[in-house]
Structure 1
């Protein structure tokens, strides 16, 4: 009998890249649906969350960014959402500002699910199929207030 692999908690950093009232999102096809995700991805050993988000945004979008502040910490525990019980993720989500031309997009290491990149007006975010859905309202609220960093909990 083969032992099941030990569960691993995956850590990642995501970016809320804002420019001129718009947010940069990845268009994607996931589980048969068109949706949007924040750019970002997995943390490498020895890498800070801030360095992770800068690297991942550049790889996926071609955009250089400056990290302004951590906005939220999010967890996803698959067993709590009818998902894979071994799937446990922790994501640090940062507000970022472009330091290169926001009109020049095109990263060299797109996610497998990614179908494009789009600057979306912030006021349209609540109506988008942005995953996880629990991020839609907090992102839209950034247009009128600067939040304090907070733990969002285990959200799908």
Structure 2
């Protein structure tokens, strides 16, 4: 199986993080950053803008690269819902919503999509939010601490 290149966006407004709520048959719901896979011929910014239209239904401005995160399924034995052959490299950017009129009305959301949810940044640990390894960094971003892009390693 090939390594998949992915993109994700961090949007914080009024100390709330924009998340995608997805159905999980064991825990009812998981929350993730908006984003998805990069398609052949797209640059990372184009991929993220397309994913936001598909999942969230809005135009974004991609502001700054902040994290390079890997997820290697076989290293996360406790997560039986993820194929152990999964290997994703996510490029994570801070983004700003440019047009809020259609927010929540993505044009082609994933099959397990329930909706969007704005989660208070300080409450992220109370949700099944992934990747958990970014929670403290996201809280820092909400507090004005913008990291200079770094590699997070293989985190869930």
- Give the structure with higher Rg (CA): 1
Which sits farther off after the overlay, 38-47 or 106-115?
A: 106-115
Given candidates 50, 55, 60, the residue that maps to 1:55 is 50
Residue equivalent to 1:8: 2
Residue equivalent to 2:138: 139
CA separation in 2, counterparts of 1:50 and 1:79?
29
Given candidates 72, 75, 81, the residue that maps to 2:70 is 75
The number of equivalent residue pairs is 150
CA separation in 1, counterparts of 2:10 and 2:123?
15
Which sits farther off after the overlay, 128-137 or 96-105?
A: 96-105
Q: 1:133 deviation in Å?
A: 1.4
Question: Is residue 58–residue 102 contact of structure 2 (8 Å, CA) maintained in 1?
Answer: no
Which consecutive residues of structure 2, in runs of 5 or more, have no partner in the other structure?
none
Matched, 1:29 2:19: no
Q: 1:104 deviation in Å?
A: 3.5
TM-score between the two structures when normalised by the length of structure 1: 0.88
CA separation in 1, counterparts of 2:101 and 2:152?
29
SS in 1 for 2:30: strand
Deviations 1:71-90 (A, max 9, x none): 10000112222364421110
TM-score between the two structures when normalised by the length of structure 2: 0.88
Which sits farther off after the overlay, 76-85 or 28-37?
A: 76-85
